Amino acid sequence: MESRELFLHGSRVPDAGPDGELMTLNMGPQHPSTHGVLRLELKTDGEEVAQVRPHIGYLHRCFEKHCEKLTPPQIVPYTDRMDYLAAMNNNLGFAIACERMMGLEVPEKVEYMRVIVAELNRIASHLIAIGTFGLDMGALTPYFYCFRDREMILDIFEEVCGARLLYNYIWVGGLSHDFQDDTDDKILRFCDHFDKRLDTELNPLLSFNKIFVKRTANVGVMTPEQAWSMGASGPSLRGSGVDFDLRRDDPYSVYDRFQWKVCVGEGLMGTVGDCWDRHWVKVLEMKESVKILRQAVAARPKDGDVKEKVPTRVKLPAGEIYCRTETPRGELGFYIVSSGGNQPERVKVRPPAFCNLSVIDEISRGALIGDVVAILGSLDIVLGEIDR
Protein backbone atom coordinates (compact mmCIF):
# COMPACT_ATOMS: atom_id res chain seq x y z
CA MET A 1 0.00 0.00 0.00
CA GLU A 2 2.85 2.40 0.81
CA SER A 3 4.25 2.30 -2.67
CA ARG A 4 0.83 3.04 -4.11
CA GLU A 5 0.44 6.02 -1.87
CA LEU A 6 3.70 7.31 -3.27
CA PHE A 7 2.45 7.13 -6.83
CA LEU A 8 -0.72 8.86 -5.97
CA HIS A 9 1.10 11.87 -4.67
CA GLY A 10 2.90 12.07 -7.92
CA SER A 11 6.38 11.50 -6.61
CA ARG A 12 6.79 8.48 -8.80
CA VAL A 13 5.43 8.04 -12.25
CA PRO A 14 5.96 4.47 -13.34
CA ASP A 15 8.66 4.14 -15.90
CA ALA A 16 8.30 1.96 -18.88
CA GLY A 17 8.77 -1.69 -18.03
CA PRO A 18 12.20 -3.31 -17.92
CA ASP A 19 12.29 -3.60 -21.66
CA GLY A 20 11.13 -0.03 -22.10
CA GLU A 21 7.71 -0.95 -23.37
CA LEU A 22 4.31 0.32 -22.34
CA MET A 23 1.13 -1.27 -23.55
CA THR A 24 -1.38 0.95 -25.29
CA LEU A 25 -4.88 0.21 -24.19
CA ASN A 26 -7.88 1.82 -25.79
CA MET A 27 -10.57 2.47 -23.23
CA GLY A 28 -13.56 3.35 -25.33
CA PRO A 29 -15.18 4.69 -27.44
CA GLN A 30 -17.30 1.68 -26.57
CA HIS A 31 -16.67 1.05 -22.92
CA PRO A 32 -19.18 0.76 -20.10
CA SER A 33 -17.71 3.40 -17.83
CA THR A 34 -16.64 6.16 -20.13
CA HIS A 35 -20.08 7.72 -19.67
CA GLY A 36 -20.75 8.07 -23.34
CA VAL A 37 -18.44 7.90 -26.28
CA LEU A 38 -15.10 8.91 -24.93
CA ARG A 39 -11.86 7.24 -25.87
CA LEU A 40 -9.06 7.17 -23.36
CA GLU A 41 -5.80 6.01 -24.75
CA LEU A 42 -4.03 4.47 -21.78
CA LYS A 43 -0.36 3.66 -21.67
CA THR A 44 -0.13 0.91 -19.14
CA ASP A 45 2.54 -1.03 -17.39
CA GLY A 46 0.60 -4.02 -16.16
CA GLU A 47 -2.31 -2.58 -14.20
CA GLU A 48 -0.52 0.70 -13.67
CA VAL A 49 -1.35 3.62 -15.89
CA ALA A 50 1.50 5.77 -17.08
CA GLN A 51 -0.40 8.15 -19.30
CA VAL A 52 -3.96 8.93 -20.26
CA ARG A 53 -4.72 10.62 -23.54
CA PRO A 54 -8.39 11.49 -23.91
CA HIS A 55 -9.81 11.61 -27.41
CA ILE A 56 -13.08 13.45 -27.65
CA GLY A 57 -15.38 14.51 -30.42
CA TYR A 58 -17.32 11.30 -31.01
CA LEU A 59 -20.53 13.04 -29.99
CA HIS A 60 -19.84 16.30 -31.80
CA ARG A 61 -23.13 17.64 -33.06
CA CYS A 62 -22.05 21.05 -34.34
CA PHE A 63 -23.84 23.09 -31.69
CA GLU A 64 -21.81 26.18 -32.43
CA LYS A 65 -22.34 25.84 -36.15
CA HIS A 66 -26.08 25.43 -35.69
CA CYS A 67 -26.20 28.58 -33.60
CA GLU A 68 -25.07 30.66 -36.57
CA LYS A 69 -28.35 29.85 -38.28
CA LEU A 70 -30.78 30.00 -35.39
CA THR A 71 -32.47 32.72 -33.44
CA PRO A 72 -31.89 32.76 -29.68
CA PRO A 73 -35.27 31.18 -28.82
CA GLN A 74 -34.42 28.37 -31.23
CA ILE A 75 -30.99 27.90 -29.68
CA VAL A 76 -32.52 27.20 -26.26
CA PRO A 77 -33.67 23.65 -27.20
CA TYR A 78 -30.17 23.03 -28.55
CA THR A 79 -28.63 24.01 -25.23
CA ASP A 80 -30.81 21.33 -23.65
CA ARG A 81 -28.92 18.78 -25.63
CA MET A 82 -25.47 19.81 -24.52
CA ASP A 83 -25.61 18.73 -20.92
CA TYR A 84 -28.69 16.58 -21.15
CA LEU A 85 -28.57 15.73 -17.47
CA ALA A 86 -28.89 19.34 -16.42
CA ALA A 87 -30.84 20.91 -19.23
CA MET A 88 -32.45 23.53 -17.00
CA ASN A 89 -29.07 24.86 -15.95
CA ASN A 90 -27.97 25.10 -19.56
CA ASN A 91 -31.15 26.90 -20.54
CA LEU A 92 -30.59 29.27 -17.66
CA GLY A 93 -27.01 30.02 -18.65
CA PHE A 94 -27.97 30.86 -22.21
CA ALA A 95 -31.05 32.84 -21.23
CA ILE A 96 -29.05 34.94 -18.77
CA ALA A 97 -26.36 35.64 -21.36
CA CYS A 98 -28.98 36.85 -23.84
CA GLU A 99 -30.84 38.86 -21.26
CA ARG A 100 -27.67 40.61 -20.13
CA MET A 101 -26.97 41.53 -23.74
CA MET A 102 -30.47 42.82 -24.28
CA GLY A 103 -30.61 44.56 -20.93
CA LEU A 104 -33.74 42.64 -20.08
CA GLU A 105 -34.96 42.52 -16.50
CA VAL A 106 -37.10 39.49 -15.79
CA PRO A 107 -39.82 39.56 -13.15
CA GLU A 108 -38.92 38.47 -9.65
CA LYS A 109 -41.33 35.57 -9.83
CA VAL A 110 -39.50 34.22 -12.84
CA GLU A 111 -36.13 34.57 -11.11
CA TYR A 112 -37.32 32.54 -8.16
CA MET A 113 -38.83 29.88 -10.35
CA ARG A 114 -35.63 29.67 -12.34
CA VAL A 115 -33.67 29.09 -9.17
CA ILE A 116 -36.12 26.40 -8.11
CA VAL A 117 -35.91 24.44 -11.35
CA ALA A 118 -32.17 24.93 -11.61
CA GLU A 119 -31.62 23.58 -8.12
CA LEU A 120 -34.00 20.68 -8.71
CA ASN A 121 -32.06 19.85 -11.81
CA ARG A 122 -28.81 20.15 -9.92
CA ILE A 123 -30.06 17.50 -7.53
CA ALA A 124 -31.20 15.32 -10.41
CA SER A 125 -27.86 15.65 -12.13
CA HIS A 126 -25.85 14.95 -8.99
CA LEU A 127 -28.01 11.91 -8.36
CA ILE A 128 -27.01 10.49 -11.71
CA ALA A 129 -23.40 11.44 -11.12
CA ILE A 130 -23.39 9.67 -7.78
CA GLY A 131 -25.36 6.69 -9.02
CA THR A 132 -23.12 6.09 -11.99
CA PHE A 133 -20.05 6.69 -9.86
CA GLY A 134 -21.27 3.88 -7.61
CA LEU A 135 -21.93 1.77 -10.66
CA ASP A 136 -18.37 2.33 -11.85
CA MET A 137 -17.23 1.08 -8.48
CA GLY A 138 -19.44 -1.98 -8.87
CA ALA A 139 -22.18 -0.93 -6.47
CA LEU A 140 -25.34 -1.64 -8.41
CA THR A 141 -28.09 -0.73 -6.05
CA PRO A 142 -27.40 2.94 -5.16
CA TYR A 143 -27.82 3.68 -8.84
CA PHE A 144 -31.43 2.55 -8.71
CA TYR A 145 -32.15 4.44 -5.53
CA CYS A 146 -30.73 7.56 -7.15
CA PHE A 147 -32.89 7.04 -10.18
CA ARG A 148 -35.94 6.51 -8.02
CA ASP A 149 -35.44 9.89 -6.36
CA ARG A 150 -34.56 11.56 -9.62
CA GLU A 151 -37.82 10.26 -11.02
CA MET A 152 -39.70 12.44 -8.55
CA ILE A 153 -37.90 15.49 -9.90
CA LEU A 154 -38.58 14.48 -13.47
CA ASP A 155 -42.25 14.07 -12.64
CA ILE A 156 -42.30 17.59 -11.28
CA PHE A 157 -40.62 18.85 -14.43
CA GLU A 158 -43.01 16.97 -16.64
CA GLU A 159 -45.92 18.46 -14.82
CA VAL A 160 -44.48 21.95 -15.10
CA CYS A 161 -43.19 22.03 -18.64
CA GLY A 162 -44.22 18.81 -20.31
CA ALA A 163 -40.81 17.27 -20.83
CA ARG A 164 -38.78 14.97 -18.67
CA LEU A 165 -35.28 15.45 -19.95
CA LEU A 166 -34.96 18.24 -22.51
CA TYR A 167 -37.10 20.98 -21.16
CA ASN A 168 -36.80 24.15 -23.24
CA TYR A 169 -38.32 25.69 -20.13
CA ILE A 170 -36.22 28.75 -19.39
CA TRP A 171 -36.68 31.15 -22.25
CA VAL A 172 -34.97 34.40 -22.99
CA GLY A 173 -36.99 36.80 -20.85
CA GLY A 174 -39.11 34.33 -18.97
CA LEU A 175 -40.33 30.79 -18.72
CA SER A 176 -42.48 28.66 -20.96
CA HIS A 177 -45.07 27.75 -18.33
CA ASP A 178 -46.12 28.79 -14.88
CA PHE A 179 -46.04 26.23 -12.07
CA GLN A 180 -49.17 24.25 -11.48
CA ASP A 181 -51.13 24.83 -8.30
CA ASP A 182 -49.67 21.89 -6.44
CA THR A 183 -46.12 22.09 -7.75
CA ASP A 184 -44.83 23.89 -4.67
CA ASP A 185 -46.27 21.21 -2.44
CA LYS A 186 -44.72 18.51 -4.55
CA ILE A 187 -41.33 20.15 -4.36
CA LEU A 188 -41.55 20.46 -0.60
CA ARG A 189 -42.65 16.86 -0.33
CA PHE A 190 -39.69 15.85 -2.44
CA CYS A 191 -37.37 17.85 -0.18
CA ASP A 192 -38.64 16.06 2.92
CA HIS A 193 -38.38 12.66 1.29
CA PHE A 194 -34.98 13.33 -0.16
CA ASP A 195 -33.35 14.78 2.94
CA LYS A 196 -34.30 11.68 4.82
CA ARG A 197 -33.25 9.25 2.13
CA LEU A 198 -29.87 10.85 1.69
CA ASP A 199 -28.91 10.28 5.31
CA THR A 200 -30.50 6.92 5.87
CA GLU A 201 -29.89 5.30 2.54
CA LEU A 202 -27.34 6.74 0.17
CA ASN A 203 -24.67 7.69 2.68
CA PRO A 204 -24.53 4.47 4.66
CA LEU A 205 -24.97 2.35 1.56
CA LEU A 206 -22.41 4.10 -0.59
CA SER A 207 -20.53 7.10 0.80
CA PHE A 208 -19.37 5.49 4.00
CA ASN A 209 -19.05 1.96 2.77
CA LYS A 210 -15.54 0.88 3.59
CA ILE A 211 -14.87 -0.63 0.19
CA PHE A 212 -16.15 2.47 -1.54
CA VAL A 213 -14.03 4.68 0.68
CA LYS A 214 -10.97 2.56 0.03
CA ARG A 215 -11.59 2.70 -3.68
CA THR A 216 -11.98 6.46 -3.82
CA ALA A 217 -9.99 7.99 -0.97
CA ASN A 218 -6.44 9.06 -1.87
CA VAL A 219 -7.18 8.27 -5.49
CA GLY A 220 -6.87 10.89 -8.21
CA VAL A 221 -5.80 13.72 -5.97
CA MET A 222 -6.18 17.09 -7.63
CA THR A 223 -4.38 19.93 -5.95
CA PRO A 224 -5.99 23.39 -5.91
CA GLU A 225 -3.18 24.71 -8.11
CA GLN A 226 -3.81 21.99 -10.68
CA ALA A 227 -7.51 22.63 -10.51
CA TRP A 228 -7.19 26.35 -11.18
CA SER A 229 -4.61 25.94 -13.87
CA MET A 230 -6.54 23.29 -15.76
CA GLY A 231 -9.76 25.24 -15.42
CA ALA A 232 -11.56 22.67 -13.33
CA SER A 233 -14.76 24.00 -11.88
CA GLY A 234 -17.82 22.96 -9.95
CA PRO A 235 -17.57 19.98 -7.60
CA SER A 236 -14.22 19.03 -9.10
CA LEU A 237 -12.76 22.38 -8.05
CA ARG A 238 -14.49 22.46 -4.70
CA GLY A 239 -13.46 18.88 -4.05
CA SER A 240 -9.90 20.17 -4.03
CA GLY A 241 -10.79 22.38 -1.12
CA VAL A 242 -11.28 25.60 -3.08
CA ASP A 243 -14.11 27.67 -1.69
CA PHE A 244 -15.48 29.01 -4.94
CA ASP A 245 -18.96 28.85 -6.34
CA LEU A 246 -20.26 31.13 -9.05
CA ARG A 247 -23.65 31.20 -7.41
CA ARG A 248 -22.04 33.07 -4.54
CA ASP A 249 -18.91 34.61 -6.04
CA ASP A 250 -20.25 35.85 -9.34
CA PRO A 251 -23.92 35.95 -8.48
CA TYR A 252 -26.65 35.73 -11.04
CA SER A 253 -30.41 35.45 -10.76
CA VAL A 254 -31.48 35.71 -7.11
CA TYR A 255 -28.97 33.37 -5.53
CA ASP A 256 -27.75 36.14 -3.25
CA ARG A 257 -31.03 36.06 -1.37
CA PHE A 258 -30.74 32.60 0.10
CA GLN A 259 -28.95 31.23 3.10
CA TRP A 260 -26.68 28.44 2.05
CA LYS A 261 -23.04 27.59 2.11
CA VAL A 262 -20.49 26.49 -0.43
CA CYS A 263 -19.35 22.94 0.26
CA VAL A 264 -15.70 22.09 -0.13
CA GLY A 265 -13.72 18.90 0.14
CA GLU A 266 -11.97 18.50 3.46
CA GLY A 267 -10.11 15.27 2.98
CA LEU A 268 -12.40 13.52 5.43
CA MET A 269 -11.39 10.05 4.28
CA GLY A 270 -7.99 10.72 2.77
CA THR A 271 -6.33 13.56 0.97
CA VAL A 272 -8.07 16.79 0.05
CA GLY A 273 -9.03 16.64 -3.61
CA ASP A 274 -9.37 12.89 -3.98
CA CYS A 275 -12.26 11.10 -5.64
CA TRP A 276 -14.10 10.66 -2.36
CA ASP A 277 -13.99 14.39 -1.75
CA ARG A 278 -15.43 15.11 -5.16
CA HIS A 279 -18.18 12.61 -4.43
CA TRP A 280 -18.81 14.05 -0.99
CA VAL A 281 -19.03 17.60 -2.28
CA LYS A 282 -21.84 16.48 -4.56
CA VAL A 283 -23.67 14.86 -1.68
CA LEU A 284 -23.32 17.99 0.44
CA GLU A 285 -24.34 20.19 -2.45
CA MET A 286 -27.57 18.29 -2.83
CA LYS A 287 -28.34 19.07 0.79
CA GLU A 288 -27.61 22.74 0.19
CA SER A 289 -29.82 22.67 -2.89
CA VAL A 290 -32.64 21.32 -0.76
CA LYS A 291 -32.08 24.25 1.60
CA ILE A 292 -32.24 26.71 -1.28
CA LEU A 293 -35.35 24.99 -2.62
CA ARG A 294 -37.16 25.30 0.68
CA GLN A 295 -36.37 29.00 0.92
CA ALA A 296 -37.17 29.70 -2.70
CA VAL A 297 -40.50 27.94 -2.59
CA ALA A 298 -41.45 29.86 0.55
CA ALA A 299 -40.30 33.21 -0.79
CA ARG A 300 -41.39 33.08 -4.39
CA PRO A 301 -44.05 35.54 -5.51
CA LYS A 302 -47.12 33.68 -6.71
CA ASP A 303 -48.71 36.33 -8.93
CA GLY A 304 -47.69 37.50 -12.32
CA ASP A 305 -47.22 36.19 -15.79
CA VAL A 306 -44.05 34.25 -16.49
CA LYS A 307 -44.14 35.23 -20.14
CA GLU A 308 -44.70 38.90 -19.44
CA LYS A 309 -41.18 39.91 -20.44
CA VAL A 310 -40.62 37.37 -23.18
CA PRO A 311 -39.94 39.50 -26.26
CA THR A 312 -41.96 38.67 -29.35
CA ARG A 313 -38.75 38.92 -31.27
CA VAL A 314 -35.43 38.28 -29.57
CA LYS A 315 -32.79 40.37 -31.22
CA LEU A 316 -29.37 40.55 -29.65
CA PRO A 317 -27.77 43.99 -29.92
CA ALA A 318 -24.37 44.24 -31.57
CA GLY A 319 -21.55 43.38 -29.23
CA GLU A 320 -20.09 40.46 -27.41
CA ILE A 321 -20.51 39.03 -23.98
CA TYR A 322 -19.04 36.28 -21.88
CA CYS A 323 -21.49 35.10 -19.30
CA ARG A 324 -21.00 32.22 -16.91
CA THR A 325 -23.25 30.30 -14.59
CA GLU A 326 -22.78 27.38 -12.26
CA THR A 327 -24.21 24.16 -13.60
CA PRO A 328 -23.93 20.91 -11.64
CA ARG A 329 -20.66 20.26 -13.43
CA GLY A 330 -19.20 23.68 -12.95
CA GLU A 331 -18.72 26.85 -14.86
CA LEU A 332 -20.77 26.97 -18.02
CA GLY A 333 -19.79 29.97 -20.08
CA PHE A 334 -21.41 31.38 -23.18
CA TYR A 335 -19.36 33.72 -25.33
CA ILE A 336 -21.82 35.34 -27.69
CA VAL A 337 -20.90 37.67 -30.51
CA SER A 338 -23.72 39.46 -32.23
CA SER A 339 -23.74 42.05 -34.94
CA GLY A 340 -27.34 42.98 -34.32
CA GLY A 341 -28.97 40.51 -36.67
CA ASN A 342 -31.57 37.89 -35.90
CA GLN A 343 -28.98 35.21 -35.40
CA PRO A 344 -25.87 35.54 -33.28
CA GLU A 345 -22.64 35.60 -35.24
CA ARG A 346 -20.83 33.25 -32.94
CA VAL A 347 -21.80 31.30 -29.86
CA LYS A 348 -18.89 29.66 -28.13
CA VAL A 349 -19.60 27.45 -25.20
CA ARG A 350 -17.18 26.86 -22.42
CA PRO A 351 -18.42 23.53 -21.13
CA PRO A 352 -17.41 22.70 -17.58
CA ALA A 353 -16.85 19.01 -18.21
CA PHE A 354 -14.54 19.83 -21.12
CA CYS A 355 -12.07 21.47 -18.76
CA ASN A 356 -12.66 18.96 -15.97
CA LEU A 357 -11.86 16.11 -18.31
CA SER A 358 -8.61 17.69 -19.43
CA VAL A 359 -7.30 17.17 -15.88
CA ILE A 360 -7.54 13.41 -16.13
CA ASP A 361 -4.05 12.81 -17.46
CA GLU A 362 -2.38 14.71 -14.65
CA ILE A 363 -4.31 13.10 -11.84
CA SER A 364 -4.35 9.53 -13.03
CA ARG A 365 -0.69 8.94 -13.71
CA GLY A 366 0.48 6.06 -11.59
CA ALA A 367 -3.03 4.93 -10.79
CA LEU A 368 -4.43 1.52 -11.61
CA ILE A 369 -6.94 0.80 -14.34
CA GLY A 370 -9.69 0.53 -11.76
CA ASP A 371 -8.66 3.94 -10.45
CA VAL A 372 -8.96 5.53 -13.85
CA VAL A 373 -12.56 4.39 -13.87
CA ALA A 374 -13.02 5.90 -10.43
CA ILE A 375 -11.39 9.17 -11.43
CA LEU A 376 -13.46 9.44 -14.57
CA GLY A 377 -16.61 8.75 -12.58
CA SER A 378 -15.74 11.32 -9.95
CA LEU A 379 -15.09 14.01 -12.55
CA ASP A 380 -18.69 13.52 -13.63
CA ILE A 381 -18.41 14.16 -17.32
CA VAL A 382 -21.22 14.39 -19.81
CA LEU A 383 -19.98 13.79 -23.31
CA GLY A 384 -22.88 15.65 -24.85
CA GLU A 385 -21.48 18.77 -23.32
CA ILE A 386 -17.82 18.10 -23.96
CA ASP A 387 -18.32 17.42 -27.64
CA ARG A 388 -21.34 19.67 -28.14
Q: Does 230 bind other proteins (CB under 8 A)?
A: yes
Which CB atom, from 217 or from 272, has the smaller least distance to other proteins? 217
Which CB atom, from 10 or from 73, has the smaller least distance to other proteins? 73
**Contacts of other proteins in 234-263 (CB under 8 A):** 244, 249
Which CB atom, from 138 or from 304, has the smaller least distance to other proteins? 138
What contacts 147, CB < 8 A, 6 or more positions away? 127, 128, 131
Given 75, 198, 306, 353, the residue binding other proteins (CB under 8 A) = 75
Q: Does 73 bind other proteins (CB under 8 A)?
A: yes
Q: Does 109 bind other proteins (CB under 8 A)?
A: no
Q: Does 158 bind other proteins (CB under 8 A)?
A: yes
Q: Does 162 bind other proteins (CB under 8 A)?
A: yes
**Contacts of other proteins in 303-342 (CB under 8 A):** 312-313, 318-324, 331, 333, 335, 337-339, 342
Minimum separation from the CB atom of position 148 to other proteins (A): 5
**Contacts of other proteins in 76-105 (CB under 8 A):** 76-78, 80-81, 100-101
Which CB atom, from 211 or from 299, has the smaller least distance to other proteins? 211
Which CB atom, from 10 or from 291, has the smaller least distance to other proteins? 10
Q: Does 161 bind other proteins (CB under 8 A)?
A: yes
Given 141, 185, 196, 261, the residue binding other proteins (CB under 8 A) = 141
Given 39, 41, 60, 104, the residue binding other proteins (CB under 8 A) = 60
**Contacts of other proteins in 9-38 (CB under 8 A):** 23, 25, 31-33
